[in-house]
Amino acid sequence: MSLPKSRYSRAVLGGIVTWLVPFLVSLLFYNQNGLTIDVFLFKSIMIVVGAIVGALMIVWYFRPETENFLRAGIIFGATALAVNWVLDLVVLCGMLGEDPLSWFAGVGVRYLVIPVMSITVGYIAEEKAGVNP
């Protein structure tokens, strides 16, 4: 499979992966009766899994970049954030009936780690390339 050439296409795909992998991992901790482990352990696992997948997708996204790294980081971060929010709102709120405000307070705000990481990577890459962001 070849990489999408557009920054935006790669950002959307990266956003989908950063949502899908933790979602699939989360299914391992549910059965017909609900959550099978302590809720705080579950949340910790999900944060770590999300951060790992997010970091891997940022590396994947930046690999073909050769310039405008900060802009690339902003594009990835904003796009991945939007994709994660939309998918969560559709699946967790739309299909599973979770209240959107409760979802945002409990989960939605955690997705801000993705743009924080990608913008930081972009900033550092610009600095290393000799461009003062």
- What's the pLDDT tens digit per position in 28-66? 999 999 999 999 999 999 999 999 999 999 999 999 999
Tens-digit pLDDT profile for residues 5-20: 789 999 999 999 999 9
Q: Rounded to two decimals, what is the model's pTM? A: 0.88
Q: Is residue 48 one of the residues assigned to a domain?
A: yes
Alpha carbons 133 and 119: distance in angstroms, whole number = 11
Q: 76 in a domain, yes or no?
A: yes
Q: Is 101 exposed, middle or buried (0-12, 13-18, 19+ CB in 10 A)?
A: exposed
Q: Which pLDDT score is estimated for 104?
A: 87
CA distance 55 to 98: 28
Q: What's the number of domains the chain is made of?
A: 1
- Tell me, what's the pLDDT at 40? 93
Using alpha carbons only, what angle is made at residue 110 by residues 108 and 114, rounded to the nearest 5 degrees? 110
Helix axes 39-62, 113-128, angle to 10 degrees: 30
59-106 pLDDT, tens digit each: 999 999 999 999 999 999 999 999 999 998 898 878 777 888 888 888
Chain segment 103-128, per-residue pLDDT in tens:
888 888 999 999 999 999 999 999 99
- Quick check: is 109 in a domain? yes
On whether residue 1 sits in a domain, the answer given is no
Structural domain range at position 51:
7-128
pLDDT for position 36: 97
Q: Quick check: is 133 in a domain?
A: no
Give a yes or no: residue 116 inside a domain. Answer: yes
pLDDT in the model for residue 22: 96
Whether residue 52 lies inside any domain: the answer is yes
